[in-house]
Structure 1
């Protein structure tokens, strides 16, 4: 048994959850886009209203968007800035918390590891199982946004939307790697999932609340700092340094997870 066998088996086990999450996200995208025409015609100056929010809330929920009444600005605020970065990212970190800890909890890890596979390959296989999972969810949301905007006779620049989902997919994989590390470190699924979810939520709000303060450097701990959906969808600008940080962080967390699991006593 090699890491790809582990990945295929793990992915097969997650097909039902993938379908459920995809359906929920399709519904979320559909509802969000369906509301836009009435939102656009409401006659309320939402931009002025949002600018009255405290800076921390603006950083968390608005990001770099200056015009929420445009479709791309609206989608960044209502879909990508909050739902994607916080909720979907948190879900993948939480879900990954069971990848290794679940096997230890069920005492099935010993049965797997008696076969000719190292612990490092076992952990890598678990991570690889989440790659197509992230890709599928990413693709489902992308297609849903395209279909939804077409149904309300609106249009987005496809290449910018592809940028959002490309960098967004890397962000989700980084969230998975955090969950994987927590899963390898903790002996119980609930602890691992709680730690992974807490890391995503905690650092997200830490980044937002320390914006323009003397403690802004603490926000560098947040993965969300390295992706700006507003710059991607509205301006078409990619922060390649941020992309590099997401890729390096993902690799680092996976390596650390493998190293932690190698040193664990499963007895």
Structure 2
């Protein structure tokens, strides 16, 4: 049994959950886009309204967007800044929290490891199982946004939408790596999943609360520091340094998970 065999088997067990999550996200996209026409016709000065909010609130839930009159700016605030970075990111970290811990709790890890497969390959296989899940959710939401924009006769920049989903997908993979490390370290599903969600949620707040303060350096520990949906979708700018850091962080987390699992006693 090799990494791809493990990945294929693990993914097949999770297909139903991924389909359900994708359906919920499509519904969320549909409702969000359906509100935009009435939102745009409102007499409220949303720019002035945004400026009235505390800076920490704007950083966390609005990001770099200053204009909500365009569909791109609206989607950043209503979909990508909160739903994608926090909720979808937490879901994938939560799901990954059971990758190794679930096998240990069911006492099935030993059955796999007695075959000619190392613990490192076992961990890598589990990680690879989540990549098609991330890709599927990413594509489904992308398609739903494009289809929804067409239904309300609004134009959206496809290139910039591809940018936010490309970097956004990489961010979700990094969240999977967080859950994988927690799963390898704790080897108890509830504890691993709770820790994974706590790390994603805590790092989201850390980035928001430390920005433009004397403690801004602490925000560099947060994955959300390296993805700005507003810059990607509205301005069309890619922070390639941030992309490199997300890739590096993912690799480091997977290596750490493999190392931790190698050293743990399963008895």
Equivalence for 1:9: 9
Q: Which moved more, 1:142-151 or 1:214-223?
A: 214-223
Which residue is equivalent to 1:183? Answer: 183
Distance 1:12 1:82 in 2: 29
Distance 1:46 1:203 in 2: 28
Q: How does 1:102-141 map to 2 (within 5 A)?
A: 102-141=102-141
What TM-score does the superposition give when structure 2 sets the normalisation length?
A: 0.99
Offset at 1:70? 1.3
Q: What is the 5 A alignment of 1:1-267?
A: 1-267=1-267
Task: List alignment gaps of at least 5 residues for structure 2.
Answer: none
User: What is the distance in 1 between the residues matched to 2:206 and 2:258?
Assistant: 28
Give how far 1:50 is off: 1.3
8 Å CA contact 2:50, 2:66 repeated in 1 = no
Asked if structure 2 preserves the Cα contact closer than 8 Å seen for 1:55 and 1:211, the reply is no
Structure 1 Cα separation of the partners of residues 50 and 105 of structure 2: 46
Q: Secondary structure at the match of 1:14?
A: helix
Q: How many residues align?
A: 267
TM-score (norm 1): 0.99
Give the alignment's Cα RMSD to 1 decimal.
0.5
- Which stretch of the first structure deviates more once superposed, 4-13 or 206-215? 206-215
TM-superposed CA distance for 1:154, in Å, is 0.2
- Cα distance between partner residues in 2 of 1:22 and 1:97: 19
C-alpha separation between the residues in 2 aligned to 1:69 and 1:206?
29
C-alpha distance in 2, partners of 1:187/1:180? Answer: 10
How far apart, in 2, do the equivalents of 1:51 and 1:208 lie?
16
CA–CA separation in structure 2 for the residues paired with 1:206 and 1:7: 33
Please identify runs of 4+ aligned residues in structure 1 that moved more than 2 A.
Answer: none
Distance 2:155 2:115 in 1: 53
